[in-house]
Amino acid sequence: MDVEALVKAIAVEVLKQVSGKEEPPSVLIIGEKTCKKCQAVEKKLGAAHRFLYPDEAPGAGETMRRIVPYLSIRHMADMAAGKAEGPLMEMVLAALLAGQPVEVMEYEYKRYADTASEGLMRLFEGQEAALATFGLTAMDMTKRDTVRVRKPLVTDADVTEANQKGARELLLPEDAQVTPLAVESAREFGITITRA
C-alpha cells in the first residue's frame, strides 16, 4: 500500500475520533427521486446513509457509492459499446471514465432468464461482464455471515460495509492494522474481528 494513502487513511480516522461525530456514508442514486426503484435502494441500504440524487451537489472530493437502481437492456448495450444516452447514463459514463465504480441494483435482462433464448442470455451476460471490466458491477444484495477484508488498514467504513452485508464476522489478514474506531464499531454492530 502507498505510504501516503496509509497516512491519509489514518489521519481521516483520527479526525473522526477527535471530532466525535461520524458522517454517514454517502450514496449517489443515479435516478429520479420519485422512482420506486430509487426508493428501493434507500430502503435496502437503510437510514444510516446520506442519499444524494443527480440534482444535488456532493461535497468536493466526497467519497461515495454510486448506484443505478435499474439498467435497461438498451442502456446496457449502449454502455457496453462505450456510449451513453440521456443525462443519467452520461453521469454513469462520466463516473466510469473518472475511475469511480458504479453499482447496478437490477439488470432488466435478468427478468427474462426463464423465457429468453440461450443465445440472447449469453449476449446479455457478455455485456454485463464487459461492463464489469469498466467498473459497472452488480450491487451486492447478499447477506453474509463472514466478510473477508484484504487491506492493510481496516477502518470504520470497512466495518460499516460488512454490517450492511449482514456480517457477524470480519476476517482479516494477520498483519492488518485496525483503527480504534473500527474496533468500537464492530463491538456496537456485534461483529467479531478474526485474523487468519
Query: Are residues 123 and 179 located together in one domain of the fold?
Result: no
Query: Are residues 119 and 41 located together in one domain of the fold?
Result: yes
Query: Are residues 33 and 93 located together in one domain of the fold?
Result: yes
Instruction: Specify the residue for cell string 484484504.
Output: 150
The whole-angstrom separation of Cα 159 and Cα 193 is 9
* Segments forming the whole domain that contains residue 187: 146-195
Query: Are residues 159 and 189 located together in one domain of the fold?
Result: yes
90 to 45, 46, 85, 93: CA distances (angstroms): 24, 27, 6, 5
What pairing do the DSSP bridges indicate for beta strands 153-154 and 177-178? parallel
Query: Are residues 124 and 93 located together in one domain of the fold?
Result: yes
pLDDT values of the chain reduced to their tens digit, one per residue, 196 residues? 567 666 666 766 666 666 655 567 788 999 998 889 999 888 888 877 889 999 886 666 666 889 999 999 999 999 999 999 999 999 999 999 999 999 999 999 999 988 989 999 999 999 999 999 999 999 876 556 788 888 889 999 889 888 877 788 888 888 899 999 999 999 988 899 998 7
The whole-angstrom separation of Cα 116 and Cα 95 is 31
**Partners of 153 in the β-ladder:** 177
Task: Order across the sheet with 102-104: list the strands.
Answer: 50-52, 26-29, 64-68, 102-104, 136-138
The whole-angstrom separation of Cα 174 and Cα 189 is 22
DSSP code per residue over 161-194: HHHHTT-SEEEE-TT-EE-HHHHHHHHHHTPEEE
